[in-house]
Chains A and B, each alone.
Chain A
Amino acid sequence: MRRLAYCVAVLALAARADAQPAAPVLQPPRPLTEPRIELPTYVESPPAGSAVDLLLDIDAEGAVVAVTVGTSLREDIDLLAMDAARLLRFEPARQGGEAIPSRVRLRLEVTSAAPVPTPVPVSVPVPDQATTSPASPTPPVPDDGEPPYETVVRGAIVPPEPGASSRVVLTGAELTTVPGTFGEPLRVVATLPGVVRSPFGLGYFLVRGASFENTGFLVDGFPVPILYHFFAGPAVISSRLVEHLDFYPGGYPVAYGRFSAGLISLRTAPPPTRQLHLEAEVDLFRAGALAVVPVGERTTVAVAARRSYYDVLLPLVIDDVDVAYADYQIRADHELTRRLRASAFVFASEDTLDVSQATGTGTTVSTETTSIGYAFVRGIGTLAWDLGDDATLVASGMLGRDWTSFRDREPGQADFGAEITGTYVGGRAELRIPAERDLALAIGVDVASTSYDLDSSFPSPLGLGEFPRPGFDPQPIDIHSSVRQLAGAVYVEPTLRAGPVELVPGLRLDLLKYGEVSSVFPDPRGVVRVTATDDVLFKASTGLFTQPPNPLQLDESLGSPDLQPQRSWQSSTGAEILLPDSIELQPTVFYSRMFQLPRFSGDFEVRGGEVVAREIFVADGEGRAYGFEMLLRRKVEAGLYGWISYTLARSERFLEGGQAQPFAFDQTHTLNVAASYLWGRWRFGGRFTLASGRPTPRIVGAVFDADADRYDPERTGLNFRLPTYHQLDVRIDREFDLGPIRCSAFLDVINVYYAKNAEGRLYQYDYRRSTPLPGVPILPTIGIKGELR
Chain B
Amino acid sequence: MKQTMPRKVALVANCLLNQNAKVCEGARYRGLVSPVVEALRSRGYVLQQLPCPELAFAGARRWWAVYEQYDTPAYRAHCRRLALAIAPLIESYLRNGDEVILIGLDGSPSTGVRFTSSKPDWGGRPNRPEDDWEIVPRRGVWIEELEAELGRRGLPPLPATGWALDMGRFDEAGSRRDLEEFLDSRESGGAGPRNKDSGTS
Same assembly: no
A interface residues with partner B (beta carbon < 8 Å): none
B interface residues with partner A (beta carbon < 8 Å): none
